[in-house]
């Protein structure tokens, strides 16, 4: 019923740290009500149950439990609730179809791209960010259960179908990444811009799995960590600004919050730079492996990923500049800098992202066994 191997244990440990960071640094108004705490607990427990499940039906139970907050909170919108409900149906149908059929694998793949917001289901993540709870969304998206489903169940159960169709997954993922990168360039609403940036970079994970080689899959698994900790940092810092000032609703001009909140500015900058692969961070090591793996097996991915990264770098730096720079101090509303609990919580992902870039071999060693096993299954070994 339960499976505790290296992949699941590492996933649980990194996710538990992510939960600690998110809850500790979240504004009190986001975690004070009983229902808000219940939502965070449901996402957390559902994700961990999915990580340790050895049965696909138990995994489906965890997948479903983690989505309950989206369904019961109308602020997320109809689109996100409908797409995630369909993902549950897709997994159930895949498990009911006669084992060994390509149809089952394609249904599992469909559920994964729904959960990850891949084209043509890319719309639900920006829609959910518009009015939904950011701490809940951070934990929901950074569990990366779509990628986990592919790795833990879809490929091992249907290796022949995986060898045939994973390249399609890679193509859809890079289209999603490019689309999100382009649209984010012209977005004027910070929540939507942040959602598009996060979704675009997160699509690299599925793109790496689509490479079907050890290098690309290892890069995808490293990028899992990069996306989880970097986007959690960006979302947490933005939410802290949102509760401090109403001026963040629209990017109508430079806000200059860095004058009064330099620590928040530094946390945001490090998270953004790690997400786009700055040398010296874990993001650089992850994207280097992704790009090399893509060039070896899928030239379209090899060309598309650097382009998407470059566009996302422009968006990340523009968002940082609009939030933290561009105004003289006398014109900036007085806001509090990072509180003590926010400082230590946000220091954790920053240290991990930088330490992972300085000592990438340690991080690769934790991910390479899973990558080799998965590549071997796809190759029929």
Q: Is 240 contained in some domain?
A: yes
Q: pLDDT digit string (tens) for 123-170? A: 999 999 988 899 999 999 999 999 999 999 999 989 888 888 888 888
User: Does residue 294 sit within a domain?
Assistant: yes
Residue 200 has pLDDT above 90, yes or no: yes
SS3 332: coil
Provide the whole-model pTM.
Answer: 0.94
User: Which tops the pLDDT comparison, 330 or 373?
Assistant: 373
User: In the structure, what pLDDT confidence band is assigned to residue 355 with cuts at 50, 70 and 90?
Assistant: very high
Instruction: Write out pLDDT tens, residues 27-57.
Output: 888 888 888 999 999 999 999 999 999 999 9
Identify the weakest region by mean pLDDT among 16-20, 33-37, 358-362.
33-37
Cα–Cα distance between 274 and 222 in angstroms, integer? 12
The pLDDT of residue 320: 93
Lowest mean pLDDT among 104-113, 151-160, 206-215, 323-332: 323-332
CB 83 within 8 A of CB 121: yes
346-370 mean pLDDT: 92
pLDDT score at 31: 84
Average pLDDT, the chain: 89
Count structural domains, the chain: 1
Is residue 220 assigned to a domain? yes
User: Which long-range contacts does 35-44 make (Cβ < 8 Å, 24+ apart)?
Assistant: 36/133, 38/69, 39/68, 39/69, 39/73, 39/133, 39/136, 40/69, 40/135, 40/136, 40/139, 42/66, 42/68, 42/69, 43/69, 43/136, 43/139, 43/140, 43/143, 44/15, 44/19, 44/139
Q: What is the reported pLDDT for 142?
A: 95
88 domain-assigned: yes
The mean pLDDT value for 358-362 works out to: 91
The token pair at 368 is: 């390479």
Band (250; pLDDT cuts 50, 70, 90) = low
Instruction: Specify if 1 maps to a domain.
Output: no
Q: What is the CA radius of gyration of the chain?
A: 20
**For residue 283, pLDDT beyond 80:** yes
In a domain, 319, yes or no: yes
* Local confidence band at 210 (pLDDT 50, 70, 90 cut-offs): confident
Q: Which domain holds residue 343?
A: 6-379
């Amino acid at each position: 019923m339960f499976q505790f191997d290296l992949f699941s244990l590492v996933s649980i440990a990194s996710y538990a740290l992510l939960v600690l960071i998110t809850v500790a640094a979240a504004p009190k108004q986001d975690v004070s009500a009983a229902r808000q705490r219940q939502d965070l607990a449901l996402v957390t427990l559902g994700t961990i149950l999915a990580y340790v499940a050895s049965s696909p039906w138990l995994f489906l139970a965890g997948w479903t439990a983690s989505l309950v907050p989206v369904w019961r909170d109308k602020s997320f919108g109809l689109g996100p609730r409908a797409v995630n409900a369909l993902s549950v149906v897709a997994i159930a149908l895949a498990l009911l179809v006669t084992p060994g059929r390509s149809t089952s694998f394609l249904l599992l793949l469909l559920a994964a791209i729904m959960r990850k917001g891949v084209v043509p289901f890319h719309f639900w993540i920006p829609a959910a960010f518009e009015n939904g709870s950011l701490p809940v969304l951070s934990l929901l998206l950074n569990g990366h259960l779509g990628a986990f489903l592919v790795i833990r169940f879809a490929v091992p159960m249907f290796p022949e179908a995986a060898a045939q169709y994973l390249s399609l997954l890679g193509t859809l993922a890079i289209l999603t990444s490019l689309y999100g990168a382009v649209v984010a360039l012209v977005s004027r609403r910070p929540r939507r811009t942040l959602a598009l940036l996060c979704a675009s970079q997160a699509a690299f994970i599925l793109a790496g799995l689509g490479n079907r080689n050890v290098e690309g899959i290892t890069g995808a698994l490293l990028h899992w960590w990069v996306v989880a900790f970097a986007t959690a940092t960006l979302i947490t810092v933005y939410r802290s600004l949102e509760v401090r000032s109403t001026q963040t609703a629209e990017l109508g001009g430079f806000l200059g919050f860095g004058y009064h909140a330099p620590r928040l500015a530094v946390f945001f900058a490090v998270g953004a730079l790690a997400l786009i692969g700055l040398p010296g961070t874990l993001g650089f090591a992850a994207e280097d492996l992704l790009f090399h793996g893509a060039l070896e097996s899928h030239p379209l991915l090899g060309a598309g990923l650097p382009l998407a990264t470059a566009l996302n770098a422009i968006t990340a730096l523009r968002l940082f500049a609009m939030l933290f720079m561009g105004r003289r101090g006398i014109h900036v509303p007085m806001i509090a800098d990072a509180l003590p609990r926010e400082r230590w919580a946000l220091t954790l992902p920053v240290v991990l992202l930088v330490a992972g870039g300085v000592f990438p071999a340690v991080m690769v060693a934790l991910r390479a066994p899973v990558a080799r096993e998965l590549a071997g299954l796809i190759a029929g070994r």
